Amino acid sequence: MGPFRYPRFFAHRGGGALAPENTLAGIALAARLGFRGVEFDTMLCADGVPFLIHDETLERTTDGSGDVARTAAADLARLDAGCRFHPAYAGTPAPTLEQALDLCARLDLVANVEIKPATGLARETGAAVGRLLARRNPAALLASSFSPEALEAARQAAPAIPRALLLESVPKNWPDLLAGSDCFALHCAAGEMSAALAADLAAAAIPWACYTVNRAADAERLFALGARALFTDRLDLFADAKIGVC
């Protein structure tokens, strides 16, 4: 893994709160607003193709129903992933990971690809995502996951792609978890970050980032503690002059 340059902010799930999550429309919007980085979630469909989607089921974000892992790529590609967000986005598809990576490359965006395996498919998902990432520019990519198994499979398929371990809560043995997953960085829920934890991370020279930060005061606190990047839904709040590369 080479050094990775974090953008200051990642637009969470593509376009944050301003666009349907995990869509090309959201990613494009983030770029238009001046974001340098986007985060999105990726999961395998029934054919083993990684699509951008957060939930294991289709209902919340699309007009489909059932499990993503049991839906064929051709059927998934036909679903509407915009209409639940707002009628103005009706007809917006759920993109494949390939499509999203192509767009990020075109827009010069750093992509944090969160590997989101459906239950029981951690290894397959990490491996499939890793194979796609291995063909891309590692300087503009960061893989992350809550699943150490998925991260390990991604590492085997794409050793040059930097990896971050996601933790919703940070247990005392976080150094063991980080070392065990062979990740260079830790990403955790914003509420988990304390001055003591930030000091321990700094002492261990571990870069860290927090999700999901939607208030200026929280962003200021976390950057003061040493956050390398923050994930936000508030593209309206954090776009413009505050955007930059660390």
- Binding site residues, Mg ion, CB under 5 A: 41, 114
The entry of Mg ion, ligand G3P, none that residue 80 binds, CB within 5 to 8 Å by partner kind? none
The entry of ligand G3P, Mg ion, none that residue 163 binds, CB within 5 to 8 Å by partner kind? none
The DSSP symbol for 57 reads B
Residue 107 C-beta: closest distance to ligand G3P, Å: 19
Residue 166 C-beta: closest distance to ligand G3P, Å: 6
Dist CA 27 CA 109 (whole Å):
9
Q: Which of 33, 34, 54, 189 is catalytic?
A: 54
User: Among this protein's residues, is 86 annotated catalytic?
Assistant: no
Using CB under 6 A, list all residues that contact ligand G3P: 12, 39, 41, 54, 114, 144, 166, 187, 211, 231
Residue placing its CB nearer to ligand G3P in the complex, 41 or 152: 41
Residue 242 C-beta: closest distance to Mg ion, Å: 21
Residue placing its CB nearer to ligand G3P in the complex, 92 or 147: 147
Residue placing its CB nearer to ligand G3P in the complex, 92 or 112: 112
Tokens 């593209």 — which residue? 235
Can you list the alpha helix ranges (DSSP code H) found in 58-147? 73-78, 97-107, 122-133
Residue placing its CB nearer to Mg ion in the complex, 115 or 158: 115
What b/e string do you get for 44-77 counting C-beta neighbours within 10 Å, with b at 16 or more?
bbeeebbbbbbbbbbeebbebeeebbebebeebb
Residue 187 C-beta: closest distance to ligand G3P, Å: 6
Residue 12 C-beta: closest distance to ligand G3P, Å: 6
CA triple 105-219-235, angle to 5 deg? 45
Q: Which of 12, 13, 155, 228 is catalytic?
A: 12
Dist CA 212 CA 115 (whole Å):
17
Cis geometry, peptide bond prior to residue 212 (ω within 30 degrees of 0): yes
Would strands 50-52 and 37-44 be described as parallel, antiparallel, or unpaired? antiparallel
Tell which residue, 30, 33, 32, 13, has the closest CA to residue 85: 13
Output the residue with the shortest Cβ distance to Mg ion: 114
Residue placing its CB nearer to Mg ion in the complex, 213 or 241: 213
The DSSP symbol for 155 reads H
The entry of ligand G3P, Mg ion, none that residue 152 binds, CB within 5 to 8 Å by partner kind? none
Contact 126, 149 (CB under 8 A): yes
Residues labelled as active-site residues: 12, 54
